[in-house]
Amino acid sequence: MKVEQCDWEGAVLETLQAGCWPGGCDDELRSHVAQCANCTEVVMVAQVLRQADAAARAEARLPAPGLVWWKAQIRARRAAAERASEPIAIVESVAGVCGVLSLLALAIWQWSRIASWWKWLRTLPFATSLWAADTPPHLSSANLTLLMGLALCLALVSFVLYLVFAEK
């Protein structure tokens, strides 16, 4: 299908884009548009598009500038808080890894004592009373200090975990 193009079409488009149709153009152009089917179509399509644009602009309601500013400030504060908390999270992770590695090193270092205590603890349910069971192996002040330190560390870790997860 071959579409014939009018020589006046460029002038009609310029007039429409300038917003001068139909009052701001000369009589010769208006009379040509009335006779030329292509130019009439161009004018009709442009008018429909202009009406749709005006309707879309009327429907589009921008929020109040104060609200936009307030939301931007909140977003900026949240981003700053997230950036500030990243190093703290890294230090917490490193501290957790160091704590686990320290506990593992302590367990390896004192493995013989831990194994003997474990054997003694396994015999407790079969004893008729705590005093009837054999005395704990290697019960000395150093072992008691080690045991109390481990219990204190366990209590401290439990308390810290409670504080960390209670906030969320």
pLDDT-derived band at 17 (thresholds 50, 70, 90) equals confident
Q: What is the pLDDT of residues 66-109, one digit of tens each?
A: 999 999 999 999 999 999 988 888 888 888 889 889 888 988 88
The DSSP call for residue 32 is H
Phi, psi dihedral angles at 24 (to 5 degrees): -100, 15
Q: What is the pLDDT of residues 107-165, one digit of tens each?
A: 888 888 778 777 776 776 665 555 555 555 555 566 667 777 788 888 888 888 887 77
More confident residue, 124 or 49: 49
pLDDT attached to residue 149:
79
Burial of 43 by CB count in 10 Å (0-12 exposed, 13-18 middle, 19+ buried)? buried
pLDDT attached to residue 36:
82
Q: Cα separations (Å) of 5 from 2, 32, 80, 89, 155? A: 9, 14, 60, 69, 89
pLDDT attached to residue 80:
94
Contacts 24+ apart (CB under 8 A), 107-115: 110/146, 113/137, 113/138, 113/143, 113/146
